[in-house]
Structure 1
């Protein structure tokens, strides 16, 4: 995939929090710079930032007018790629008057889907931390909220943050895929969906703690069926259908995607769904999460995998 096909440069802009484009970090290695712009060409990356974000190696502006003059010198007469999924509308309208813009959000998504060795190292470390914390969780006598807060502390003690707000769901609450932890005291089953964020890269692991029954065994088998079936060149929709049909035969309906890419974001672009038209490639990293949600409880089991040498391997 040629990232610069039909364009001369890429403009990535962070607005104020929380409207930060993860591609800014991807290209610059700098996290969280508000109201800053990265201009990427095939041979260099230029950062333009306000005075509050001043640091070595960047160009500082003191007003929007000054910023625009800097951009015009860099981009005048050029066709400019933007991330249409992240650029706020006000900025889009402004830059549209200045430059010939092309939405390359799909290209950026595919570019970030293939991880390099350093990205894989960070994700693998995030997965290790997540699984270590998962093993140490104590449930007895605690509420969902207490367990969630303890997980946050355990991650911090390992120099990691939360990749997303941890899901702790006890009993019937486990039947809700995105339940928010509350005051409910521990009962089985206990569903924990959590991930460490380590050096800006995410993990995403789910475990359902319960007395194993036939439904649990089916979900677990679906997980390994998915992982064992993945191979480079296979369409994601084909994998989804294969697992969906397996679950259908056992009376379990898929109500969400089978999985999603992970990286700088916990949902890092690509989704393994019925309509997904991309093919798996070496270097891609996904969370695979077959699940079943029933009247009195839910079961979700999730592993993070790396595609290497044409096959999927569970990380850490």
Structure 2
């Protein structure tokens, strides 16, 4: 049996649950290598099973490492679980309420993060896929010739996604952010149909064999922009250098945040320092003020401090690191793009 399933079954036994219900597509994929296109119910128990939709049965049978059965109805599925002796059911925290209400009258239910705990630690194969996704994304970025580009933000975003797909990505790992000028002070703005102005902030990523990458670079042009860029770069570099196993994630966030605060811009750093990624672009843990998760070898987390001056401009610099005895930056794209 798969090690991840074995670990989850041990967690179930320790907490006195009979089974674990997963419906989130990437969780099902993580456990079984089958990613639903419609819906699926993955039940982790001593004899795991996936109830897949009829339209997905061929895909599921071809890819799933665990037993697959065609979904007929909630009643049939619930009765089969009860016949199997299932009385208590752990659920993933993201389970939709509309699904939860179908099960609550027949089982003792509680939300558990067993799957998140497994996904926090990446295998060497997972790290290799994230590395390949990063290489594709960074190569594609360098093909843009941004400094001589007279295109609009939308056109640059389109070209970047096209390059990533041409270079081997299945798609972008999130909606590509290309922003410039005053709008760069909005961390998650969308590309506009306007010519690039200054500075230019690009946040992008590729998916390779299901795994995401994530980088941000900001190109600055004025003395004030360079001053802010230098502060963010110092925060980025020192946070990465500080990371080591057995630290708390919040301690890394504090390193990055304190540097920016020391320069007087603490209130302009308006998001967490980073987030894990893998099959999803945002996973746990994260480098945030509240996350007390202990850093372990095998984690993969972004480091992305930023300073946002409302109405003027913003600067964010982001790389992804994997943790061994220290933090190792994935990819080789320079922070400073000349």
Does the pair score TM above 0.5? yes
Give CA deviations for 1:153-179 in whole Å, capped at 9, x if unaligned. Answer: 111112311110000001111111011
Name the residue aligned to 1:187.
Answer: 197
* Residues in 2 aligned to 1:181 and 1:98: alpha-carbon distance in whole angstroms: 48
Name the residue aligned to 2:20.
Answer: 10
Matches within 5 A, 1:35-50: 35-41=39-45, 44-50=47-53
| Residues 1:63 and 1:22: Cα distance change in structure 2 (over 3 Å) | same
Name the residue aligned to 1:30.
Answer: 34
Aligned to 2:29, the other structure's residue is in SS state helix
* Residues in 2 aligned to 1:94 and 1:23: alpha-carbon distance in whole angstroms: 20
Give CA deviations for 1:245-296 in whole Å, capped at 9, x if unaligned. Answer: 1111112222110001111111112221111111110000001001111141
* Residues in 1 aligned to 2:258 and 2:168: alpha-carbon distance in whole angstroms: 41
Contact 1:175 1:298 in 2 (8 A): yes
Name the residue aligned to 1:213.
Answer: 226
Name the residue aligned to 1:231.
Answer: 244
* Residues in 1 aligned to 2:48 and 2:128: alpha-carbon distance in whole angstroms: 24
Asked if 1:174 corresponds to 2:184, the answer is yes
Name the residue aligned to 2:214.
Answer: 204
* Residues in 1 aligned to 2:202 and 2:196: alpha-carbon distance in whole angstroms: 12
Which stretches of structure 1, 4 residues or longer, exceed 6 Å deviation after superposition? none
Name the residue aligned to 2:73.
Answer: 63
**Structure 1 unaligned spans of 5+:** 14-19
Aligned to 2:95, the other structure's residue is in SS state coil
Shift of 1:192: 0.3
- The CA RMSD measured in Å over matched residues stands at 1.7
Name the residue aligned to 1:306.
Answer: 322
Matches within 5 A, 1:73-222: 73-74=83-84, 76-84=85-93, 86-105=94-113, 107-139=114-146, 140-160=149-169, 161-211=171-221, 213-222=226-235
Give CA deviations for 1:181-238 in whole Å, capped at 9, x if unaligned. Answer: 0112012211000000111111110000123722211111111100000010001111
Shift of 1:52: 1.7
Q: Which moved more, 1:209-218 or 1:129-138?
A: 209-218
| Residues 1:98 and 1:3: Cα distance change in structure 2 (over 3 Å) | same
> What TM-score, normalized to structure 1?
0.91
**Structure 2 unaligned spans of 5+:** 1-6, 62-66, 332-338
Aligned to 1:192, the other structure's residue is in SS state strand
**Which structure shows the bigger proportion of residues in helix conformation?**
2
